[in-house]
Amino acid sequence: MSLHLVPPRIQPALDENFRPAILANQNFQRQVEPIGASLVLGLERSGSEFARFETKIYPEGHPNFEANFQYVERIVKFLLWQRGGHTLYVGGSQKIADHLKKLYSKNGARNFDYQFMGEQVYEKDFSVIACDVDEVPASREAGKLLGRNLQGHRIGFDLGASDRKVSAVVDGTPIYSEEVVWEPRKHTDPEYHYREVMTALKTAASKMPRVDAIGGSSAGIYIDNRPMVASLFRGIPQEKFGEIKNMFLRIREELGVPLEVINDGDVTALAGSMSIEDNGILGIALGSSEAAGYVNVEGHIMGWLNELAFAPIDYSPNAPDEEWSGDKGCGANYFSQQCVFRLAPKAGIEIPAGVTDAEKLKFVQEKLEAGHEGALKIWQTMGVYLGYGIAHYADFYDIKHVLILGRCTSGRGGDLLLEGAKKVFETEFPELLQKIELHLPDEKVRRVGQSVAAASLPVIN
């Protein structure tokens, strides 16, 4: 028996096949509540940090027991890309552990995740351990109280796919900023990246009498200031990638000041937290893909991956494939320009060939601003996706605020996204209307910005 999929009460205008993960999971929990057995999932990652997720499943011997397999596998998939981990503990069911061990293996259906989480991110084999419920280790997730350090002469930088930004920041105020176009993905020599970053830092340093600390943000997965996987460095041969992993440690040692580099999504969430002056913030950027970051209710950055582009939100067997991992129904195809391009033919819009993705998006956005009915349906559909997606995220994050940003939110698009999400909340999840506030970036958020938030990361000893 497979997991029962529940049609949404708010149907996306351009996607009749959409089956929200949140509705399937809620229905599953309602079914197992009277008879459910406990299952505890644990994920161990670097630094002996440990995440736990507790749920209920059909007990062994129940005729619906096999429905557990799909339900638990989708939860595991989400947790891996939300929090990360190299070792999965399955407490409470040997059969489910055996099923997951087969899937998340070198030759299993989730071999991409097996290799990515193991070899690439955590540099050790990914493993699945079966145990009793009470043998799953206790949660160990303190996070770090990074950022909000504004005193002193600081440098903040942001490394993007098409430009690198740097700011000189004195007591929280940028006194100099620059953006320089670069093409990091085309370069195969680690020294190119080192020289470019050092040039940016030295330029900002020249605008101040001294440098007390340096903070940075970049796309990719960073662990202890080391880029483990990042699209910026995709041109670097594997045998030279160790130089990239240690690049920021080298820069910190050479410059002799505190330095912190983290994922750009977490810096965006931090900037939102600093401007809203509250915590419990999930930032979601709808750009070329979906980027996300999180500041917990205590104001800590947790060291989670927050790679929600690869976390499932749609359980439909007809959901689109994510091009990198090959999995179905993942966030990248719902919360990014990829979604706009996917829905355009259904909306009667033919996007010109032979132009950049940025030009493709601009083409459809111009139709949206002109009131084109098909373009309106694209953003209305994305708004419905967003409502069900945030409700699903709320099962894994403690959220008070969601900051929606990125190029897909410009113009009318941002308002349509919020309207769609709020309509879903009103119809399906009225309790979330009282709990979660949705935001588009305002002038205050832009004033704090990525550069100031990044510069504020390190503590000056």
- State phi, psi for 282 to the nearest 5 degrees: -105, 120
The total domain count for the chain is 2
Domain boundary (135, 154, 186) is at 135
Q: Tokens 């900051």 map to which residue? A: 403
Cβ(287)–Cβ(358) below 8 Å: no
312 shares its domain with 441:
yes
User: What per-residue confidence (pLDDT) applies to 48?
Assistant: 84
Q: Cα-atom radius of gyration of the chain, to the nearest Å?
A: 22
Q: For residue 1, is it within any domain?
A: no
208 shares its domain with 226:
yes
CA distances from 228 to 245, 272, 427 (A): 6, 26, 41
Domain boundary (135, 164, 185) is at 135
199 shares its domain with 328:
yes
- Residues linked to residue 51 through DSSP beta bridges, in sequence order: 43
Count other Cβ atoms within 10 Å, centred on residue 201. Answer: 22
Domain boundary (112, 135, 158) is at 135
124 shares its domain with 147:
no
d(CA 136, CA 130): 9
Q: For residue 342, is it within any domain?
A: yes
Q: For residue 24, is it within any domain?
A: no
279 shares its domain with 369:
yes
128 shares its domain with 179:
no
User: What per-residue confidence (pLDDT) applies to 209?
Assistant: 97
d(CA 92, CA 94): 7
Angle 262-237-201 (CA atoms, 0-180°, nearest 5)? Answer: 40
169 shares its domain with 108:
no
Which range of residues forms the domain containing residue 84?
A: 35-135
Q: For residue 15, is it within any domain?
A: no
**Which pair of structure tokens corresponds to residue 279?**
């915590």
Q: For residue 3, is it within any domain?
A: no
Q: Identify the segments of the chain with pLDDT beneath 50.
A: none
CA distances from 269 to 109, 280, 404, 453 (A): 33, 9, 10, 9
Q: Kindly report the CATH number assigned to the domain that includes residue 427.
A: 3.30.420.40
Q: For residue 204, is it within any domain?
A: yes
177 shares its domain with 266:
yes
d(CA 117, CA 121): 5
Q: For residue 250, is it within any domain?
A: yes
Taking Cα atoms as reference points, which of 352, 346, 422, 431 lies closest to residue 384? 422
121 shares its domain with 188:
no
- The type of residue at 123 is E
State the burial class of residue 373 (Cβ atoms within 10 Å of its Cβ: 0-12, 13-18, 19+): exposed
Q: For residue 13, is it within any domain?
A: no
Cβ(221)–Cβ(121) below 8 Å: yes
152 shares its domain with 39:
no
325 shares its domain with 216:
yes
3-state SS string for the chain? CCCCCCCCCCCCCCCCCCCEHHHHHHHHHHHHCCCCEEEEEEEECHHHCEEEEEEEECCCCCCCCCHHHHHHHHHHHHHHHHHCCCEEEEECCHHHHHHHHHHCCCCCCCHHHHHHHHHHHHCCCCEEEEECHHHCCCCECCCECCCCCCCCEEEEEEECCCEEEEEEEECCEEEEEEEEECCHHHCCCHHHHHHHHHHHHHHHHCCCCCCCEEEEEECCEEECCEEEECHHHCCCCHHHHHHHHCHHHHHHHHHCCCEEEEEHHHHHHHHHHHHHCCCCEEEEEECCCEEEEEECCCCCECCCCCCHHHCECECCCCCCECCCCCCECEHHHCCCHHHHHHHCHHHCCCCCCCCCHHHHHHHHHHHHHCCCHHHHHHHHHHHHHHHHHHHHHCCCCCCCEEEEECHHHCCHHHHHHHHHHHHHHHHHCHHHHHHCEEECCCHHHHHHHHHHHHHCCCCCC
pTM: 0.91
182 shares its domain with 207:
yes
- The type of residue at 403 is L
